[in-house]
């Protein structure tokens, strides 16, 4: 394996995008110009081989792409414009070669280019067992325009920004048939949803630009879990109507029970769930239509004990705050 110096040289970006960048990789820390018109947004997440990804369902390119996508999704959920990212990779002494590491960075880079994000720091270290990727992302949002989970209020409309369950469906296919199977077109859409998810930055920006009281959360752990986070943070009841949840054509080819599990608890679709005041709903829909973005009412907010109620076929049940980790069950 290359030494650390050679590795760092290989990941220094050939070009940069952000005009606020002063110094990226190469000194003790990166520097960028602050801006009083904006709020800075930052988060750090770690993904571990065997828990968040496995080589039998994700190529290194997908691992990098999706790791960054998951972090960008957190920025989207704040209404932010992505700006910078830093990556720390702990590489096992066995089982990963230089070409695969490069491919992980290429995966991140493909997505970063799309959002004009600059890679400005991080490091690489070695471990004895599994690959660990820590990514810090930064973004910014106009002053006072950030969108919190705690903004929901009685009477609000609950919305989502796209189909749910596809990623979980794709994972099931991959676990069953592997990376090299010759999938049909329908299956490919599910697999792509799992391997190359699209964070909803554009939607976050539309909602932030509206200036309305919007609550927002990204659906990384399944809508059941994320809706509960909004309920808790806003101290309200979230009512979800199952029949309104969006499912792809591909997902509709699967049996009901499987589908429901994926849609409610699957996670990793990286759509957004949020709320807006009822009076603003038509305005938001209009803005989304203009931008070619999907938005769908899936329920409403009620006063009361913070919890999530799922309405399905005229029955109501409390939806627990749980997601499922596909790999954990195997341990």
Nearest to 64 by CA among 95, 33, 110: 110
Number of residues that bind a copy of itself (CB under 8 A): 66
CB of 104 to a copy of itself, least distance (A): 15
CB of 89 to a copy of itself, least distance (A): 8
CB 174 to a copy of itself: min, Å:
21
- Is 306 one of the binding residues for a copy of itself (CB under 8 A)? no
Cβ proximity of 164 and 246 under 8 Å: yes
The nearer residue to a copy of itself, 146 or 194, going by C-beta atoms, is: 146
Look up residue 225 and give its two tokens: 């879990």
- The residue (of 39 and 241) whose beta carbon lies closer to a copy of itself is 39
Residue placing its CB nearer to a copy of itself in the complex, 221 or 260:
221
Known binding residue 265? Answer is: no
| Contact range with a copy of itself by CB under 8 A, out of 9-17, 142-150, 191-199, 278-286 | 142-150
In total, the chain counts a number of residues equal to: 331
State yes or no: residue 1 binds a copy of itself (CB under 8 A).
no
Q: Pick one of 130, 209, 285, 306: the residue that binds a copy of itself (CB under 8 A).
A: 130
Is 8 a binder of a copy of itself (CB under 8 A)?
no
Any contact of residue 149 with a copy of itself (CB under 8 A)?
Answer: yes
Contacts 24+ apart (CB under 8 A), 49-57: 49/92, 49/130, 49/131, 49/132, 50/130, 50/327, 51/325, 51/327, 51/328, 54/327, 56/174, 56/175, 56/178, 56/179, 57/171, 57/174, 57/175, 57/179, 57/194, 57/195
Cα–Cα distance between 48 and 132 in angstroms, integer?
A: 5
Establish if 205 lies at the interface with a copy of itself (CB under 8 A). no
Of 45, 8, 34, nearest to 122 by C-alpha is 8
Map the footprint of a copy of itself across residues 11-40, applying CB under 8 A.
Answer: 22-23, 26-40
Stretch that binds a copy of itself, among 67-75, 94-102, 175-183, 250-258 (CB under 8 A): 67-75
Q: In angstroms, give the least distance from the CB of 71 to a copy of itself.
A: 9
- By the 8 A CB rule, do 236 and 109 touch? no
Of 11, 18, 52, 324, the one binding a copy of itself by CB under 8 A? 52
Euclidean distance between CA atoms 259 and 98, whole angstroms:
39
Do the strands 307-312 and 237-241 form a parallel or antiparallel pair, or are they unpaired? Answer: parallel
CB of 140 to a copy of itself, least distance (A): 7
Kind and range of the H or E run holding 73: helix 60-76
- Give me 149's structure tokens: 């989970």
Q: Does 41 bind a copy of itself (CB under 8 A)?
A: yes
Nearest to 38 by CA among 147, 141, 145: 141
Beta strands 215-218 and 296-302 are: unpaired
Residue number with CB closer to a copy of itself (134 or 248):
134
Residue list, annotated binding site for Mg(2+) = 28, 45, 74, 123, 218, 221
Which residues are at the interface with a copy of itself (CB under 8 A)? Answer: 22-23, 26-48, 50-52, 73-75, 77-78, 80, 84, 86-88, 90, 120-123, 125-130, 132, 134, 136-141, 143, 146, 148-150, 216-218, 233
Residue list, annotated binding site for substrate = 52, 268, 324
């Amino acid at each position: 394996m290359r030494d650390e110096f050679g590795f760092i040289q290989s990941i220094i970006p050939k070009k940069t995008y952000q005009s606020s960048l002063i110094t990226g990789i190469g000194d003790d820390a990166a520097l960028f110009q602050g801006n009083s018109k904006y709020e800075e947004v930052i988060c750090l997440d770690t993904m571990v081989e065997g828990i968040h990804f496995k080589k039998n369902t994700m190529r290194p390119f997908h691992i990098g792409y999706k790791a960054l996508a998951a972090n960008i999704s957190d920025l989207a959920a704040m209404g932010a414009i992505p700006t910078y990212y830093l990556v720390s990779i702990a590489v096992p002494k066995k089982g990963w070669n230089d070409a695969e590491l490069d491919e992980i960075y290429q995966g991140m880079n493909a997505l970063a280019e799309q959002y004009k994000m600059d890679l400005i720091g991080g490091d690489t270290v070695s471990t004895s067992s599994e690959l660990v990727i820590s990514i810090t992302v930064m973004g910014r949002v106009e002053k006072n325009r950030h969108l919190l989970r705690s903004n929901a209020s009685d009477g609000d409309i609950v919305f989502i920004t796209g189909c749910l369950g596809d990623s979980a469906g794709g994972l099931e296919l991959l676990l069953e048939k592997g990376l090299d199977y010759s999938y049909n077109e329908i299956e490919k859409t599910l697999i792509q949803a799992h391997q190359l998810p699209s964070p909803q930055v554009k939607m976050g920006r539309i909602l932030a630009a509206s200036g309305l009281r919007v609550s927002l959360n990204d659906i990384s752990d399944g809508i059941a879990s994320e809706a509960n986070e909004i309920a808790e943070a806003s101290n309200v009841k979230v009512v979800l109507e199952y029949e309104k949840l969006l499912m792809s054509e591909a997902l509709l080819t699967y049996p009901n029970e499987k589908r429901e599990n994926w849609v409610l608890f699957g996670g990793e679709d990286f759509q957004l769930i949020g709320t807006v005041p009822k009076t603003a709903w038509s305005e938001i829909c209009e803005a989304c239509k203009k931008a070619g973005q999907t938005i769908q009412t899936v329920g409403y907010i009620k006063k009361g004990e913070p919890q999530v109620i799922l309405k399905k076929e005229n029955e109501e049940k409390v939806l627990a705050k749980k997601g499922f980790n596909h790999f954990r069950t195997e341990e």
